[in-house]
């Protein structure tokens, strides 16, 4: 059995996992909109839609229209 500190040191010694492009995209959108990463995932899954102001912010960021990003 290992101590708490030994487990921590073992975890610390492991190679760092580099975030995927998808994870980086979600983080970027969350930071840009001041929303949580979970909220961005819900938008991507179609479970929720961003409010109109957030849609406008994202449209400006991606140089398109809210209608193009979030068709009904």
Do the domain assignments include residue 3? no
Q: How far apart, in whole angstroms, are the C-alpha atoms of residue 39 and residue 29?
A: 10
Do the domain assignments include residue 45? yes
Count structural domains, the chain. 1
Q: What is the chain's Cα-based Rg? A: 18
Do the domain assignments include residue 53? yes
33 with 40: CB under 8 angstroms?
yes
Do the domain assignments include residue 46? yes
Supply the range of the domain harboring residue 23: 19-69
Q: Residues 9-58: pLDDT tens digits?
A: 887 788 777 888 999 999 999 999 999 999 999 999 999 999 999 999 99
Do the domain assignments include residue 51? yes
> Residue 67: pLDDT band by 50, 70, 90 thresholds?
very high
Q: How far apart, in whole angstroms, are the C-alpha atoms of residue 28 and residue 51?
A: 18
């Amino acid at each position: 059995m290992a101590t708490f500190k030994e487990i921590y040191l073992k975890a610390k010694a492991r190679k760092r996992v580099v975030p995927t492009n998808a994870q980086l995209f979600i983080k970027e959108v969350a930071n840009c909109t001041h929303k949580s990463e979970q909220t961005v995932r819900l938008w991507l899954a179609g479970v929720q839609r961003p409010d109109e102001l957030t849609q406008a912010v994202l449209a400006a960021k991606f140089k398109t229209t809210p209608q193009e990003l979030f068709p009904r």
